[in-house]
Structure 1
Amino acid sequence: MNNSNQTPIKNTMGGVFIHVSDLKKSVEWYSNILGIEANLDKVKSPVYNIPVTGSTGLTLDDHAFDPTFIHRPSPNPIFNFLVDNIDAAYDFIKSKDIEIVREIERVGENFAWFNFKDPDGNVIMACTG
């Protein structure tokens, strides 16, 4: 590798930060859709790390120590959760009365996605790949 390509920034995602208004409510919501147990007694501001598999972390941040923070959710997905069966994932999210903001879109036989909102209006994608 020559010097022009060297960088101190690693080509690795360390974590995704989700900005939330009610940390306990968000921990409960994300834990619920991921099928994991949440001990709400251990939730303390300003951040909580949702236990996920893989090398990228998922951190919820309520900005308790930043009174100037203004939450502005993006109308576009900020990340995606991987799913094996898009129809089952869609039905699951619908059954939880979670707002779906983009219906299932399919490209070819094996690739599909849809978008939904968390309690703070953050848009998340469920995607087959």
Structure 2
Amino acid sequence: MQSPIANRVDTIFIHVRDLEKSVQWYSKLLGIEVKHKIQGPIYTFDMGPGRPGLTLDNHCFDEVYELKPLNQPLYNLSTVDINEAYQFVKEMDAEIVTEIQSYPDLSDFTFKDPDGNILMICTCFS
């Protein structure tokens, strides 16, 4: 049977408490300018052509929503220089979860956003 579901990811949701604060934090982290007015419940960063958007969601219309960050990342962000990215994240005062780990084909580290969501930054070796 053919699936009616497309084999692509259109957006990645990150659940946050304070949308405006989170938009500013992710804007700095990603080096992306905030292009439109910030108003709940969501704000989406354009991550480039052919790539899924990154949507921050504060659930302001959900009266019973409770944010429960996971204890592992669900996706990774990329960098060419893992050491430079690590220093940048440390300078943003993000809580480092794992130090830089190196493997034969990649290096990565994890850290928390202001809401406790764990993010991973990765560099792959060719």
TM-score, scaled relative to structure 1? 0.90
User: How many angstroms does 1:10 deviate by?
Assistant: 1.3
Post-superposition offset of 1:20 = 0.3
- RMSD of the alignment, in Å? 1.3
Larger radius of gyration: 1
Where in structure 2 are the equivalents of 1:46-125 lying within 5 Å? 46-53=41-48, 54-108=50-104, 110-125=105-120
User: Which structure 1 residue ranges, 4+ long, deviate > 6 Å from structure 2?
Assistant: none
After superposition, where does 1:23-34 map in structure 2 within 5 Å? 23-34=19-30
Select the structure that is richer in helix.
Answer: 1
Q: Aligned equivalents of 2:46 and 2:21: distance in 1? A: 16
User: Which runs of 5 or more structure 1 residues have no equivalent in the other structure?
Assistant: none
Corresponding residue for residue 13 of structure 2? 17
Percent of matched pairs sharing the same residue: 46
Gaps of 5+ in 2: none
